[in-house]
Amino acid sequence: MRFCVCIKQVPDISTAVQTGRMVLNAYDASAVEEALVLKEAHGGTVDLLLVGPETARETIRKALAMGADSATHIVRPDVGDLDSSAVAEILAEHLADHSFDVIATGKQSQDTDSGLAGSMLAERLGLPYASNAVGLAVEGDALVVTRQGDSGQEILELQTPCMVTCSNDMNDPRIPSLKGIMAAKRKSVEQVEISTGTPQTRVEGLEPVPAREPGQLFEGEAGELAALVVDRLVNESGVEL
């Protein structure tokens, strides 16, 4: 089975002090790991696809060192200005000329946490789609997806080609071995440029979440407390009872 895993370079949020270090998105790492597990069990290939600046090449090499076969780097120095819609547009333009059985990516990126690019990409490509996968299995020509829903887990069977986004609860991504790191240096990384990708939104600024006022603890008899709470709601909060 042929897998294409879309990955992203993001700031390292695991450090207490922002160092500017860039890493492979944790959700995407889980998608890479699951594709590799299925490749090892059933055969096939795992190819990577990344939209990002020249400096993202290091992130590509890390994913290749995990065991992926090859990678394509869509070079975009303005990646910080691209929203989910623009990224999906860029990926769709590239993937329209390629054929894969499964396109996988993380369910969201750990920098914006928007979680929209996967569904937008599936819509642009007209592919059956499942989100928030916590387990994948191959049965014949189909991909069986276990996804985490709001009230429990759901099991879906997707006919290939299909698209799936992966949770970081799916697995523990492997740490590249020295052999894998050395092999990654010899693997193919194709560089392409795509000029499309028009953002539909713009970030005007970033501010910390305002602190919440501390709650109040009332003590006393139930009847007295009920009257006190009603009085506060009506006379201080303006609640109409």
User: Does residue 229 fall inside a structural domain?
Assistant: no
Residues 11-38, mean pLDDT to the nearest whole number: 88
Strand partners, 165: 105
User: Does residue 141 fall inside a structural domain?
Assistant: yes
**CA 2 to chain centroid:** 20
User: Does residue 201 fall inside a structural domain?
Assistant: no
CA dist 51 and 33 (Å) reads 20
- Model confidence at 154: pLDDT above 70: yes
Number of domains in the chain: 1
pTM above 0.75, yes or no: yes
CA dist 130 and 161 (Å) reads 12
User: Are the beta carbons of 63 and 49 closer than 8 angstroms?
Assistant: no
Q: What are phi and psi of 193, to 5 degrees?
A: -125, 130
Token duo for residue 205:
């600024």
- Model confidence at 19: pLDDT above 80: no
pLDDT of residue 16: 60
Q: Exposed/middle/buried for 203, CB within 10 Å: 0-12, 13-18, 19+? A: exposed
User: Does residue 227 fall inside a structural domain?
Assistant: no
User: Does residue 200 fall inside a structural domain?
Assistant: no
Res. 43 pLDDT band, cuts 50 70 90: very high
pLDDT of residue 216: 80
Res. 240 pLDDT band, cuts 50 70 90: confident
CATH number of the structural domain spanning residue 161: 3.40.50.620
CA dist 215 and 200 (Å) reads 40
User: Does residue 186 fall inside a structural domain?
Assistant: yes
Per residue in 108-152, pLDDT (tens digit) is 999 889 999 999 999 999 999 999 999 999 999 999 999 998 889
Q: Which amino acid is at 92?
A: A
The domain of 128 spans 2-192
User: Does residue 235 fall inside a structural domain?
Assistant: no
User: Does residue 97 fall inside a structural domain?
Assistant: yes
Per residue in 97-118, pLDDT (tens digit) is 999 999 999 999 998 899 999 9
Q: From the CA atom positions of the chain, what is the Rg in Å?
A: 23
Per residue in 188-219, pLDDT (tens digit) is 999 999 989 999 998 888 888 889 888 888 88
Per residue in 179-189, pLDDT (tens digit) is 999 999 999 99
